[in-house]
């Protein structure tokens, strides 16, 4: 189901607010992500870096994990909107695509920035033939 203009606006506002809270002293590349759940809730996350660089968590995964922890029940991801304060939009990294797939194999993915360019796609297009819960089901 396509999201409405009003929900698009709410996702944008939530992702922008989250980006402003990003902890990114090493990359200086703030990212905000907003997850739209199956029940219409919006849960946001920002990237959180660490002095041990590899422990950094991306905004998208932070938002997904927050949505799982918030409940209620099993998370279904309808859409994820990513905001970066950059001239070009940033699509979710491969690890984040994999994590989004777990809860939203058909999720809409939107990436916006400070310029006019927008990436609007679907998880199944950005991560085709993904490995997921269905692969484990027969075993
Ligand atoms: N980052 C995200 O939050 N999401 C992405 O999809 C790409 C990268 C973060 C991780 C790191 O804090 C910074 O951007 C630079 O890689």
- Residue 87, domain member (yes or no): yes
- Residue 110, domain member (yes or no): yes
User: Closest residue (by CA) to atom 1 of ligand 1?
Assistant: 58
Question: From the CB of 88, is ligand 1 less than 6 Å away?
Answer: no
User: Closest residue (by CA) to atom 14 of ligand 1?
Assistant: 29
Angle at 56 between CA 23 and CA 115, to 5 degrees: 60
If one residue of 19, 26, 50, 58 were mutated to test the ligand 1 pocket, choosing by the most ligand atoms within 8 A of its CB, it would be 58
- Residue 137, domain member (yes or no): no
Measured from the Cα of 56, ligand 1's closest atom is 12
> Is residue 16 classed as helix, strand or coil in its secondary structure?
helix
Give the model's pLDDT for residue 111: 98
Give the model's pLDDT for residue 137: 80
What would the pLDDT profile of 9-50 be if each residue is shown by its tens digit? 999 999 999 999 999 999 999 999 999 999 999 999 999 999
Number of domains the chain is built from: 1
8: pLDDT confidence band, cut at 50, 70 and 90? very high
Helices (H), 21-128: 59-70, 94-103, 123-126
- Residue 139, domain member (yes or no): no
- Residue 88, domain member (yes or no): yes
What would the pLDDT profile of 52-110 be if each residue is shown by its tens digit? 999 999 999 999 999 999 999 999 999 999 999 999 999 999 999 999 999 999 999 99
Question: From the CB of 98, is ligand 1 less than 6 Å away?
Answer: no
Give the model's pLDDT for residue 2: 84
Question: From the CB of 111, is ligand 1 less than 6 Å away?
Answer: no
Query: If residue 34 lies in a helix (H) or strand (E), which one and from where to where?
Result: strand 32-37
Q: Domain of 70? A: 5-126
- Residue 138, domain member (yes or no): no
Give the model's pLDDT for residue 74: 96
Give the model's pLDDT for residue 139: 74
Q: Which CATH number does the domain housing residue 59 bear? A: 3.40.140.10
């Amino acid at each position: 189901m396509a999201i409405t203009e009003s929900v698009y606006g709410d996702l944008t506002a939530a992702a922008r607010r989250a980006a402003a809270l990003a902890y990114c002293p090493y990359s200086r590349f703030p990212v905000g992500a907003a997850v739209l759940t199956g029940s219409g809730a919006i849960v946001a996350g920002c990237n959180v870096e660490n002095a041990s660089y590899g422990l950094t968590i991306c905004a998208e995964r932070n938002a997904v994990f927050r949505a799982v922890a918030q409940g209620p029940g099993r998370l279904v991801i309808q859409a994820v909107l990513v905001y970066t304060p950059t001239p070009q939009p940033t699509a979710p990294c491969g690890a984040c695509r994999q994590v989004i797939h777990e809860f939203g194999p058909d999720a809409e993915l939107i990436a916006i920035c400070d310029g006019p360019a927008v990436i609007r796609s679907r998880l199944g297009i950005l991560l085709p033939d993904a490995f997921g819960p269905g692969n484990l089901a027969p075993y």
